[in-house]
């Protein structure tokens, strides 16, 4: 199988010629041969999927059971409720997180664009506003891409079971302590690990510490049993990315590109970044361990259109034009509520008891990032909604759903 050069461009691999050892090549061919699996379940050929590039078919809202006037009101509401943060995202990050101990930006940032978005109904574009081809930071929406790479590893057999402890897979001391040895893939994916340590010069306790706690109190806190306490923590999310790099033995952007993004017709403009100090050696190759968000810079930089394709893949339960790219089992797994925080699954937010988006069905799930970045998947209404830089998600969703006759 020929390796697409653009996937190397998108990766944290300095040069394709680094990929030169016979053993690494054989491993690469073995892993990617697994992705050509038979289609699971009934063929989806009758459903519409956009072809590669800009040829995404648009339909009038009325053709798909929607009221165009009400939908336009939803669009206008979104445009009027742009996120109030600065366009310079470096300044926005510093404003939000600079109180953290030892805070500094160590990954790339860029200025953001204007608010924009797209509404996909039955696979077709029914509404679009702003520059949806502009590549922007997505912050924690990146976590849902990272979760996908974990799902691919499970599908490929590289992870035997999400309940396996990480110490079976990562042998460099990060999971050797009595506490860390209990941590499983499941705990990292639902952010209940309470892993203790330092990664990329970032201490776990320094991420979003309580405002009323002293540093000594935070450093010397009592560790929670894995699975019993939810803590949104980018150090531990980055640990998941690092751990997946250890099992894939290839840059995670290459995995995502070859197995998902190229196959759903995404553009070659997206990039997945790590930090200036997150480079590691993997089988003699210098590889960047990517980040799961933009907290310290980095993460996924991508267009709204490409995110809509990603959302449509999950709306179709991992199937794209008749090919099962990620298992239906994984699509179900990401939507299982975490017992200690039922509105969170495997790095996707859930609408359990309509707590997160009161106007939407409880079955809705979504990716969410700093600054008002969202990918919303609504199976009940056959909708994907991607919104960038907006300040009122529920208000927008409410108006979109009201447009459905």
Q: What is the pLDDT of residues 392-402, one digit of tens each?
A: 999 999 999 99
28-32, 56-60, 368-372: range with lowest mean pLDDT: 28-32
Residue 11 has pLDDT above 70, yes or no: no
d(CA 217, CA 219): 6
CATH number among 3.40.250.10, 3.30.360.10, 3.40.710.10, 2.40.40.20, domain 44-402: 3.40.710.10
- With tokens 């520059």, the residue in question is 131
pLDDT tens, residue by residue, 148-175: 999 999 999 999 999 999 999 999 999 9
| Phi–psi pair at 272, nearest 5 degrees | -120, 115
For residue 76 the two structure tokens come to 């206008």
For residue 109 the two structure tokens come to 């940032």
33-42, 116-125, 347-356: range with lowest mean pLDDT: 33-42
Q: What is the mean pLDDT of residues 69-85?
A: 97
Quick one: pLDDT at residue 9? 53
- The one-character DSSP state at 307 is H
Residue 90 has pLDDT above 50, yes or no: yes
Task: Give, in order, the Cα–Cα distances in Å from 291 to each of 90, 250, 274, 299.
Answer: 16, 15, 5, 5
Cβ atoms of 367 and 350 within 8 Å: the answer is: no
CB-count burial class (<10 Å; 0-12, 13-18, 19+) for 61: buried
d(CA 261, CA 307): 10
pLDDT tens, residue by residue, 16-40: 434 434 344 434 444 444 344 333 3
Instruction: Determine how many CB atoms are found less than 10 A away from the CB of residue 225.
Output: 11
CB-count burial class (<10 Å; 0-12, 13-18, 19+) for 353: exposed
Average pLDDT score over the chain: 91
Closest C-alpha to 302, from 278, 264, 267: 267
Tell me the three state secondary structure of residue 113: coil
Q: What is the mean pLDDT of residues 300-323?
A: 98
240's torsion region: left (phi>0), alpha (psi -120 to 50) or beta? alpha
Residue 191 host element (H or E): none
CB-count burial class (<10 Å; 0-12, 13-18, 19+) for 354: middle
Residue 134 host element (H or E): none
Bridge partners of residue 202, in order along the sequence? 199
d(CA 233, CA 240): 11
- Beta strand 319-320 pairing with 323-324: antiparallel
For residue 22 the two structure tokens come to 């016979």
Residue 330 has pLDDT above 90, yes or no: yes
252's torsion region: left (phi>0), alpha (psi -120 to 50) or beta? alpha
136-140, 190-194, 217-221, 269-273: range with lowest mean pLDDT: 217-221
């Amino acid at each position: 199988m020929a390796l697409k050069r653009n996937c190397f461009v998108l990766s944290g691999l300095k040069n394709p010629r680094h990929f030169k050892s016979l053993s690494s090549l054989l491993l690469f061919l073995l892993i990617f041969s697994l992705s050509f699996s038979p289609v699971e379940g009934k063929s989806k050929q009758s459903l519409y999927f956009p072809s590669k590039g800009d040829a995404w078919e648009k339909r009038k809202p009325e053709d798909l059971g929607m009221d165009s006037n009400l939908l336009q009101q939803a669009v206008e509401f979104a445009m009027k409720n742009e996120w109030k943060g600065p366009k310079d995202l470096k300044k926005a990050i510093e404003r939000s997180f600079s109180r953290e101990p030892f805070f500094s930006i160590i990954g790339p940032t860029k200025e953001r664009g204007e608010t924009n978005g797209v509404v996909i109904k039955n696979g077709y574009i029914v509404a679009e506003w702003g520059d949806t081809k502009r590549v922007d930071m997505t912050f924690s929406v990146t976590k849902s891409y990272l979760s996908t790479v974990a799902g691919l590893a499970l599908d490929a057999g590289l992870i035997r079971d999400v309940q396996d402890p990480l110490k079976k897979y990562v042998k460099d001391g990060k999971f050797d302590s009595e506490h860390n040895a209990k941590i499983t893939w499941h705990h990292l994916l639902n952010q209940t690990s309470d892993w203790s340590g330092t990664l990329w010069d970032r201490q776990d306790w320094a991420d979003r510490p309580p405002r009323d706690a002293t540093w000594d109190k935070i450093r010397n806190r009592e560790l929670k049993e894995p699975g019993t306490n939810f803590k949104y923590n980018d150090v531990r999310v980055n640990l998941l990315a690092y751990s997946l790099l250890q099992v894939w033995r290839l840059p995670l952007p290459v995995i995502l590109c070859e197995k998902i993004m190229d196959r759903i017709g995404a553009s070659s403009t997206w990039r997945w970044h790590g930090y200036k100090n997150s480079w590691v050696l993997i089988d003699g190759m210098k590889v960047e361990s990517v980040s799961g968000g933009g907290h310290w810079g980095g993460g996924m930089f991508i267009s709204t259109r490409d995110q809509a394709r990603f959302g449509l893949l999950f709306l179709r339960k991992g199937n794209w034009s008749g090919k099962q790219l990620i298992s239906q089992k994984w699509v179900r797994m990401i939507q299982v509520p975490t017992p200690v925080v039922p509105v969170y699954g495997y790095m996707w937010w859930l609408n359990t008891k309509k707590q997160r988006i009161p106007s939407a069905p409880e079955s809705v799930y979504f990716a969410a990032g700093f600054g008002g970045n969202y990918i919303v998947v609504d199976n009940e209404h056959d909708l994907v909604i991607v919104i960038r830089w907006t300040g009122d998600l529920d208000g927008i969703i409410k108006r979109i759903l009201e447009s459905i006759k």
